[in-house]
Structure 1
Amino acid sequence: MTTQNAINWPEKYLPGTGDNFVSNEVIVRGVTAARVWHHLTDTSTWEAYYDNVADISFPQGGGPELKDDQVFRFGTFGFPPLDAHVVEYQAPAQGTPGRLSWTAKQDGGPQERLDVLHAWLVEDLPGGRVRVLTQETQIGAPAAALAQERPNPMLNGHQAWLDGLIRAASGQPHAGA
């Protein structure tokens, strides 16, 4: 029997307890967890393979590589730049999945406030395969509104991120290029 690793969820963001939750996963051949990890954690590559991210900055210095306890900002899904904080960082190693999670927040009144946890799991699988799982829990009125849209912009946006990430890790050009 084969079991798959899962995201480590803080209780506050447990799937199904917020206003929006999405889960996307790919399992592909021909790329390694290390290559995927590079493109996931080096934010200078994000805009080259994912169209729904912009204005990445590091207000406390550091970057462009993410690391444990890193603070950064980025815009996505039309929101003003979100204040993000890496809360879990573990590079993939033999027999150990890579884990990356960040919280992202937008302050404001009750209709603007947003609080999310975006988590990633990257692991090599037998047979030269890699598995990339990304899940996000969102809390707040903007999240509730996104959850009602069809097609679901978060689900589709995260799938585009995964697809672009795999293309970049495989050395393939951006789909829009």
Structure 2
Amino acid sequence: MTTQNAINWPEKYQPGTRDNFVSNEVIVQGLTAAQVWRYLVDTSTWESYYDNVADISFPQGDGPGLKTDTLFSFGTFGFPPLDAYVVEFQDPAQDVPGRLSWTAKQDGTPEEQLDVLHAWLVEDLSGGRVRILTQETQIGRPAAALAEERPNPMLNGHQAWLDGLVRAASGKATR
């Protein structure tokens, strides 16, 4: 039996302890972690396969590739651009999953404040398969409102991101 890896969660963002949490996962045959990783860490490709992201920018001139300590901003789920910071970055390698996590924040009034940790894990599995796991914890009133919506926009939005990422890595037409 193969043991699958898990997201590394800082205590502040532990799933189930905050206002909103979603988890999405796909396991696909015929792709490698390296193929998927390329499209995940290169933000210049995101809008080609995921329609819930816009206005990606790098205020310190980094990018479009993500790496540890990268500052960037992007709009998603109808929020104004969120200020994001890469807190974990590990390229995938043999027997080592790719790990990417960023915090994203929106300041303002208590009704507007949002604090997020969005984490990704991309790992090769036996049988020529790849596992892509994305999880997000959100803190704030906007997060609590999203958690109450049905259908759940976060769950559906992240599934669209996973599906688009798989299509892009497979070389299939996007959006």
TM-score between the two structures when normalised by the length of structure 2: 0.99
Residue in 1 aligned with 2:101?
Answer: 101
Q: How does 1:51-90 map to 2 (within 5 A)?
A: 51-90=51-90
Alignment of 1:45-56 (within 5 A): 45-56=45-56
Residue 171 (structure 1) aligned with residue 165 (structure 2)? no
Instruction: Give CA deviations for 1:59-116 in whole Å, capped at 9, x if unaligned.
Output: 0111000000000000000000000000000000000000000000000011000000
Q: Distance in 2 between matches of 1:92 and 1:121?
A: 9
Partner amino acid, structure 2, of 1:106: Q
2:7 and 2:35 map into 1 onto residues whose CA distance is 20
Separation in structure 2 between the aligned mates of residue 172 and residue 17 of structure 1, nearest angstrom: 38
CA distance in 1, matches of 2:30, 2:56: 29
Q: Structure 2 matches for 1:4-153, cutoff 5 A?
A: 4-153=4-153
* Unpaired runs of at least 5, structure 2: none
- Cα distance in 1 for partners of 2:2, 2:29 equals 18
Distance across 1 between alignment mates of 2:85 and 2:46: 17
Matching residue's letter, 2:83: D
Between the aligned partners of 2:76 and 2:158, the Cα distance in structure 1 is 11
SS of structure 2 residue aligned to 1:80: strand
Report the number of matched residues. 175
CA RMSD of aligned residues (A): 0.5
SS at match of 1:94: coil
Instruction: Classify the secondary structure of the residue corresponding to 1:81.
Output: strand
1:99 is paired with a residue whose SS is strand
TM-score relative to the length of structure 1: 0.98
Question: What is the aligned-residue identity percentage?
Answer: 82
1: distance between equivalents of 2:7 and 2:162?
A: 16
The one-letter code sitting in structure 1 at the alignment partner of 2:113 is R
What is aligned with 1:3? 3
Q: State the alpha-carbon separation in 2 of the partners of residues 136 and 76 from structure 1.
A: 13
How far is the alpha carbon of 1:34 from its aligned partner?
0.2
Deviation >4 Å, runs of 4+? none
CA distance in 2, matches of 1:10, 1:107: 21
